[in-house]
A and B are shown apart, each in its own frame.
Chain A
Amino acid sequence: SYELTQPPSVSVSPGQTARITCSGDALPKQYAYWYQQKPGQAPVVVIYKDSERPSGIPERFSGSSSGTTVTLTISGVQAEDEADYYCQSTDNSGTYVVFGGGTKLTV
């Protein structure tokens, strides 16, 4: 079955730049989405279609894509950004949705 691979954890100091990667063979063909989840809360989309930012999401969140890897970048990380981040996409056919294993961002 299709898998998306994320690092389990990323740690940065406040004000630094955090980069979280997500790798998958179908990513050149299918869009990726990124969700932020804080303890006890439902996930919230922070990036959609690889690099689009929803309204209300701070500009410090950005997304990019290169080949089989997509990257979530958080510039000028703030303490409130500490959370779990999940990438999500679909398989090559677009039929099945897949999540990455999640990355715990520690600030």
Chain B
Amino acid sequence: NAGVTQTPKFQVLKTGQSMTLQCAQDMNHEYMSWYRQDPGMGLRLIHYSVGAGITDQGEVPNGYNVSRSTTEDFPLRLLSAAPSQTSVYFCASTRTGTGTGNTIYFGEGSWLTVV
């Protein structure tokens, strides 16, 4: 998972608390995204960004906010955590390639528990 750094790796939150999952990449990729992984459901796209200042919703955006002020950073914010947001979160950064398709690099994951 070279180049994509996520923090924290583990976090326990109380219902209603807010927090930010940090994601940074040093590969100068324009495209970044956040996924959540739940048992039996694979990974689902939360939000994505095609460049600084541009974000859009994925498959499961409710309860999450994102911003992209720089190319390197793409934080994911939970404004009021709910138990349904207990999950493993993965940040990804994409190297685009004409004719060869994109290569997506994942961070090592952030394990979040909301009690």
Chain B binds chain A: no
Interface residues, chain B, with chain A CB atoms under 8 Å away = none
Binding site for B on A (CB under 8 A): none
